[in-house]
Amino acid sequence: MSLQKLNNKNLEKDIRWNRKTSFQVIKRFQSVFGLVAIVLLATVLCVRDGEYLFLNPSNLANVIRSISENGIIAVGMTLVILVAGIDLSVGAILGLTATVAADLMMHKDLGTLSTVLIVMIIGALIGMFNGAISTKLSIQSFIVTLAAMSIARGIARFWSGGIGIPISYGKEANLAPVAYSVLSERVWGIPVPAICFVMISVLFTVLLRYTRFGRYVYAIGGNPTASRLSGIRVDRVKIAVFTICGVLSAVAGLIHAAQLNQGSPNDGIGYELNAIAAVAIGGTSLSGGIGTIPGTVIGALILGVLDNMLGLLNVNNNLQMVVKGLIIIAAVVLQRKK
């Protein structure tokens, strides 16, 4: 073979390798590229009278604030999906805990700390119920959490008489503690819910990446039988994961009540779908074992920016649902190819 042909062959090989490497990089960071693309699209499209509406500081703060509740729930949902489960009760838990929080402060004169503890215990108990029933009775988590969703929603409506409970702040009786209103305020211009979302995301990123519990979660999602044979207490880990998801849903409920100044049994409808969408868009495999919290955060940001962009463009709400559904399908298709 001549030197010229050898050089051409090596050049073709290098080109193929570079193309393959570039494609692998794009697939690996597809969520990041998707976020950058949708931010650029929102920046270009959302212009009125020469003003970039999307880049307005108050609008950006609203975007961050709006994704915080769904983002916190999505962190818990990531853990559940990593062990090849699903939790459809998270939205109902949010509605129940928001209702309970409002009732305890407005009608039972409980303080902020007592309310927070009781609400988080309720979330933990529902999550523990989901995990225990699905593991010990070998029932698919889809069915168990669907039932739990109905139960939680029914309890919330029974608790409040089917109506929302408004929250007003003050030191007198039948008024919520002023300290609770911190969840609806800003610190250095940053919404407190966004700070909570970031802290929770960092905490569980560290938990999954650097602890034995995190390794167990990935192992169980990848192969539960092998995990059980290697000595991992699979049922216990799964119950813990569902419990964590319930607690995080309760945290989102506390934030939700503070944001809207009310707790309603109808709050949180559809939140489970948004959480699952954020997890899927973020690259977590719905079959378990693969995924990260930062990916879920990016997925939540993509959905938040998309909702904000469509709102600024005055797109019909029904059409917004169609667009969001198509994006979710595209994310899952890309995930399968990956």
The two counts, helices (H) then strands (E), for the chain are 13, 6
Whether the pLDDT of residue 25 is over 50: the answer is: no
Give the pLDDT confidence score for residue 325 in this predicted structure: 77
Best CA proximity match to 183, nearest among 263, 59, 65, 104: 65
- The values of phi and psi at residue 177, to 5°, are -60, 140
The mean pLDDT of 98-124, rounded to a whole number, is: 91
DSSP string, 311-329: HHTT--HHHHHHHHHHHHH
> Which has more confidence, 329 or 272?
272
Cα–Cα distance between 42 and 54 in angstroms, integer?
A: 6
* The pLDDT of residue 16: 54
Specify the DSSP element, H or E, that contains 92.
helix 90-106
In angstroms, the CA 8 to CA 279 distance is 45
pLDDT tens readout for residues 203-242: 999 999 999 999 999 999 888 888 888 888 999 999 999 9
Domain regions of the chain by residue span: 32-42+56-337
Tokens 């999954």, located at residue: 208
When pLDDT is cut at 50, 70 and 90, the band that residue 250 belongs to is: very high
Across the range 58-66, mean pLDDT stands at: 84
Percent of the chain with pLDDT over 90: 41
CA atoms within 13 A on the CB side of 312: 24
Using alpha carbons, select from 298, 324, 328 the residue that is nearest to residue 311: 324
Query: Which whole number is the average pLDDT over 111-133?
Result: 94
Does 147 score more than 90 pLDDT?
A: yes
Q: Can you tell me the distance from the alpha carbon of 62 to that of 40, in angstroms, rounded to the nearest whole number?
A: 18
State the pLDDT at residue 335.
Answer: 61
Q: What pLDDT is stored for residue 23 in this prediction?
A: 46
Instruction: Kindly write down the DSSP assignment for every residue of 231-257, as one continuous string.
Output: T--HHHHHHHHHHHHHHHHHHHHHHHH
Each residue's pLDDT tens digit, 152-207: 999 999 988 888 888 888 787 778 888 888 888 888 878 899 999 999 999 999 99
- Average model confidence (pLDDT) for the chain? 84
Confidence of residue 98 (pLDDT cuts 50, 70, 90): very high
Stronger pLDDT, 129 or 338, i.e. the higher one: 129
Measure the CA–CA gap between 334 and 331, rounded to whole angstroms: 5
Calpha distance 304→302 (Å, rounded): 5
Higher pLDDT, 249 or 5: 249
Residue 74 CB neighbours (<10 A): 35
Is it the case that residue 12 has pLDDT exceeding 90? no
How far lies 18's CA from each of 14, 15, 24, 164, 338, in Å?
Answer: 6, 5, 10, 59, 18
User: What are 27-54's pLDDT values in tens digits?
Assistant: 556 677 777 888 888 888 877 777 778 7
pLDDT at 129 over 60: yes
Write the pLDDT tens digit of every residue in 256-314: 999 888 888 888 888 898 899 899 888 888 888 888 999 999 999 988 888 888 888 88
Bridge-based pairing state of the strands 262-263 and 190-191 = unpaired
- Measured distance CA(31)–CA(289) in Å, rounded: 18
Answer with the residue of higher pLDDT: 185 or 251. 251
